[in-house]
Structure 1
Amino acid sequence: MSSTTRTPGLFSRHYRLITIGAISLVFVSAFENLAVTTVMPVISAELDGAALYAVAFAAPLAVSVLGMVVAGTWADRAGPQTPLYASVALFVLGLLLAGTAVTMGAVVAGRLVHGLGGGAMTVALYVVVARVYPPLLQPRIFGMFAAAWVIPALVGPFIAGVLGQTVGWRWVFLGVAVLTVFAAVMVVPAMRSMRAPDDAPRPAWSAPRILWSLLLAVAILGLSLSTELDGAAVFVMGGAALVVALVALRPLVPRRTLLGARGLPTVVLLRMLLAGGYFSAEVYLPYFLTGGFGLSPALAGLALTVAGVAWGASSWLQGQFSDRLTTRTSLRIGTVLVCAAVSVVLATALLGLPASVAIAGWAVSGAGMGLCYPRLSVLVLEYSAPGNQGFNSAALNIADAAGPAMALSLAGILFQAVAGPGAAATAGGAGAFAAVFALGLLFTLGALALSGRTGTAKAATAEAATASR
């Protein structure tokens, strides 16, 4: 390309349809995430599901790993179209099952199906970005993905809270299912012309990888369900499940990821720790605000709103200044902000500070995540060649799911151990919430320690010539 030729924008004629369609799918996924997080305390109270509260979030994250692995290999072999369509179908089916559930166990089962589809959908969209957009536009489209959380952040928690208090929480799931169908219809025209590059290697289906991902999902589910046990059995089963989960995770990510080796392994591990710390704290924050301070679900959702808006705004800003704000600086500032936000929430639980302090502090976490997430996604693509874009994208998203799933499972164990039976949602359980937030801080501090070890684009160019497996 000559120096005078300008790269078309995201909404130019060439990219308009696929940009709008992809952003629409991210939009409905964001709305579902924020809405369900807001309304889950209502579901838990109505269905007597306090013991399965953490499981309801960890379960879909756990099985999403299986969807990611299958979708990653499928996309490398045949392009992202069919995996994307199949994942959307599963996503909608799971929402319908959860929306018509009559027990907390049935809600969890529906979220298992929805999580399987959601994991596959995320990886398929990453491969779409790698195949469609030039490197200059990739930070911008990932920034737009994050910015697509802004409107759901503004209205999702409030709408979910109002629905939970009026017509019922079921309409949160059912309404998102309808929105997802409309978003998928928008993607279809642009996807028809896509196909895998003719010269790209076609990796064979890997039964071992699929089995490892299945084992990882089962181990994380076992870890989360260990909260149903009593006494020392909780820690025995939980410890064993955690070890199995880490063993199963190892073949699904780049070599030496769990050791934090510089470059791509650190990118994946940083994402896992950052996501684990952030989402484990976020899931319990509405529970903390409704149970500890007596706020309504709609008002407690304000914490998610301010964080979501900050996330979208900072993501958009980092995309606009991608040529001036270095990746290392963006990651360092972002992880510091997330650590600070979790610290504020922890201090609120420990010191009995006003709820407004936690809500305001949590806004800072969104700004930090918005700085980090797009840059980590771009780094993974820089480290990838056409033949392993699916594997590396799957690895990043596996980390994005496994980190929060394991953190939430551990948080559930801590919560039940500290709060004890019957104290889960009361002000007297402030110590239990503090234990959960302390765990989140530990994860985010680990991410901060790794933020300077992600490598550079030049190093990524050399590594991209070889597949991760």
Structure 2
Amino acid sequence: MIQRVSAQDSPGAAASSAGAAQDAGSARAEDGQSAQLVRLLLIASVALITLAAFEALAVATVMPVVVEELGGLHLYTVAAGAPLAAQLVATAVSGAWSDARGPRGSLLLGILLFCAGLLVAGLAPTMAVLAVGRAVQGFGAGLLMVPLYVLVGSMVPAARQPRFFAAFAAAWVVPGLVGPAIAGTVAEAASWRWVFLAVPVLTLAASTVLLPLLHHVRSVPRGPADADGRRRTRTLLLAATGAGLAAAALQVAGSDGGTTGVVLAVAGVAGLAVTVRQLLPAGTLRLRAGVPSAVACRGLLNAAFITAETFLPLLLVRAHDWSARDAGLVLTVSSITWAAGSAVQGRVRTPLRRALLLWLGPLLLAVGTFVSAAAALPGAAPWWVVAGWTVAGAGMGLIFPALSVLVLQATPRAEHGTVSSALQISDGLGAALGLALAGAVFTALVGTGGREAYLAGLVLAGGLGLLALWAGARATPPELE
């Protein structure tokens, strides 16, 4: 039997009850405030990722218009690849910085550099200045993306974190559907410069919501760092910086056929020889079966896809007289079929059928790229690009997430962070090096005045897709072969 206690009967018990009620009220208020902060974090972070996605797709759409106005066609792939090389370095820097001192500094500097780089690119008088601006913007993007994940880990309950990462992935969908059309329309109706200049304004607006949340990130007391841990972090940081600089050197070398280009190419190859082995799992370069081949496959896929997607709008605008808005259609189509392919692979359950995805995805990418390349043949219709890139996008959707699943399932949980980092590094490095190689071929042939330069760049991308097919086959778990 529960006896009702009044204040007159027991002052101490009444005080205790009042205190408990007050504590419960405070807890509810704190939970409510925490939920509000999580909602704000979701809104602000998704807004920033959406803007970064829009910028990437929009710039790919308007770059043919940019080179038409500024000239400097030999720097076309440098301007496209500079952000990738810079982001590779910044990602490693931001990871070490966020671990050592928290996400605040990296996020602030990342936002400032991202906006500053876009302003430089938007006001650029030459392609060389635009390439520098894009490198600064890419470095800023690398600095600001890592802290977003750190903030999720610090502020979001574990049960809600999967929803956040799903929202991060979904943030690319809308820019893929409408970004190219908007960018092409803006470039035609006003100027391509507004595609660069409008994003900083929107980024700063989203940041006004995000930055106050940094005051609520709990600082974690850090004990003395393990000597091996410090050494590993320092090695990774130096290796990523060296690889990024080497990739940048190769990109610039591809645009310069003189002595300077040769020196930069030699330095870039030497730099990669020293650094890449520190960044990727052992056996990646030799396509050792299992996880190493899966990591290599991701790099080759990104190299093929990004290289081809860089040249396709240029081919449609310069060789087939399409508008920038119409040329951006291929980017929208591939975004749709990529999403469809991802949805399909998510429904494939049996191990044997999932192993088939490791062959089918790269095969569709390679076939789609070669079909797209047909548009560069004399007298060929431009619609080959739309048909081919529809197939290529589906292939990427089938294989890209399937590789992530395979790698995580084949790796001990304690090593998930390391192998996830290796996948991201392989993505960035593959794209940067693919553009560097294709840029060198394109620059060597573009002076002929025909379509040979486009054809060579796209055939090269298709060849990288075939290498990805080989790597994907090697990634198949031995028990399923």
Q: Fold conserved (TM > 0.5)? A: yes
3-state DSSP class of the match of 1:256?
Answer: coil
In the other structure, the counterpart of 2:254 is 227
Give the conservation status (yes or no) of the 8 Å contact 2:335–2:393.
yes
Question: Higher helix proportion, which one?
Answer: 2
Task: Say whether 1:241 aligns with 2:264.
Answer: no
Residue matched to 1:451: 472
Per-residue CA deviation, residues 180-236 of structure 1 (Å, 9 max, x unaligned), is 234444555776446669899874274443333332222222211123433687567
Q: Determine the C-alpha separation between the residues in 2 that align with 1:176 and 1:14.
A: 25
SS of corresponding position for 1:417: helix
Distance between the aligned counterparts of 1:395 and 1:179, measured in 2? 32
Tell me the CA shift for residue 164 of structure 1: 1.7
What are the equivalent positions in structure 2 for 1:305-324 lying under 5 Å apart? Answer: 305-319=332-346, 321=347
Higher relative contact order (Cα pairs below 8 Å, separated by 6+ residues):
1
Equivalent in the alignment of 2:435:
408
Determine the structure 1 residue equivalent to 2:24.
none
Q: Deviations over 1:21-78 (max 9, x none)?
A: 4433321111011100111111112112212111101111111111111122334445
Which of the residues 123, 126, 131 maps onto 1:103?
A: 126
Mark the runs of 5 or more structure 1 residues left unpaired by the alignment: 1-11, 459-469
Deviates further, 278-287 or 260-269: 260-269
1:415 deviation in Å? 0.8
Secondary structure class of the residue paired with 1:204:
helix
Tell me if the contact between 1:119 and 1:397 (Cα under 8 Å) persists in the aligned partners.
Answer: no
Q: Say if 1:455 and 1:228 are closer, same or farther in 2 by CA, change over 3 A.
A: closer
Is 1:157 the equivalent of 2:180?
Answer: yes
Q: Structure 2: state its 5+ residue gaps.
A: 1-34
Partners of 1:143 and 1:316 within 8 A in 2 = no
Shift of 1:254: 2.6
1:213 corresponds, among 233, 236, 240, to 240
Q: Percent sequence identity over matched residues? A: 38
**How many Å apart are 1:340 and its aligned residue?**
1.9
Distance in 1 between residues matched to 2:89 and 2:225, nearest whole Å: 23
Q: 2: CA distance between counterparts of 1:17 and 1:273?
A: 37
Distance, in Å, in 2 between the alignment partners of 1:166 and 1:248 is 46
Residue in 2 aligned with 1:432? Answer: 453
Aligned to 1:463: none
Name which of 26, 51, 60 aligns with 2:74. Answer: 51
Q: Which moved more, 1:216-225 or 1:439-448?
A: 216-225
In structure 2, do the counterparts of structure 1 residues 405 and 413 end up closer, same or farther at CA, with 3 Å as the change threshold? Answer: same
Q: Deviations over 1:388-444 (max 9, x none)?
A: 72x5444322221111111111111101212226x3xxxx2x111111011111211
- CA drift of 1:339 comes to 1.5
Quick one: distance in 2 between partners of 1:293 and 1:230?
Answer: 28
Contact kept? 1:146, 1:370, Cα under 8 Å: no
Find the partner of 1:268 among 285, 290, 295: 295
Verify: 1:26 aligned to 2:56, yes or no.
no
Given that residues 78 and 255 in structure 2 are in contact (C-alpha distance below 8 angstroms), is that contact kept between their aligned partners in structure 1?
no
Pick aligned residue for 2:230 from 199, 204, 228: 204
Q: Which amino acid aligns with 2:92?
A: V
Give the CA RMSD over aligned residues.
Answer: 3.5
Alpha carbons 2:236, 2:278 under 8 Å: kept: yes
1:296 to 1:194, Cα distance in 2 relative to 1, 3 A: farther
Residues 1:177 and 2:204 are matched in the alignment? no
Show the counterpart of 1:8. Answer: none
Q: Per the alignment, do residues 15 and 416 of structure 1 end up closer, same or farther by CA in structure 2, a change over 3 Å counting?
A: same
Between Structure 1 and Structure 2, how many residues are aligned? Answer: 437
Within 2, Cα distance between the matches of 1:418 and 1:196? 56
**1:291-346 deviations in Å (ceiling 9; x for gaps):** 11011111111111111222234334545x37568653444332222122112112
Task: Report the counterpart of residue 462 of structure 1 in structure 2.
Answer: none
Counterpart in 2 of 1:116?
Answer: 139
Q: What is the TM-score normalised by the length of structure 2?
A: 0.79
Secondary structure of 2:333's counterpart equals helix
Would the alpha carbon gap of residues 294 and 17 (structure 1) be closer, same or farther in structure 2, given more than 3 Å must change? same
Normalised to the residue count of structure 1, the TM-score between the two structures is: 0.81
Q: Which amino acid aligns with 1:204?
A: R
Task: Give the Cα separation in 1 of the matches to 2:38 and 2:466.
Answer: 39
The CA distance in 2 between the partners of 1:118 and 1:329, in whole Å, is 35
Compared with structure 1, are the counterparts of its residues 127 and 346 closer, same or farther at alpha carbon in structure 2 (3 Å cutoff)?
farther
Whether the 8 Å contact between 1:72 and 1:394 is mirrored in structure 2 is: no
Whether 1:284 and 2:325 are equivalent positions in the alignment is: no
The counterpart of 2:110, out of the listed 63, 70, 87, is: 87
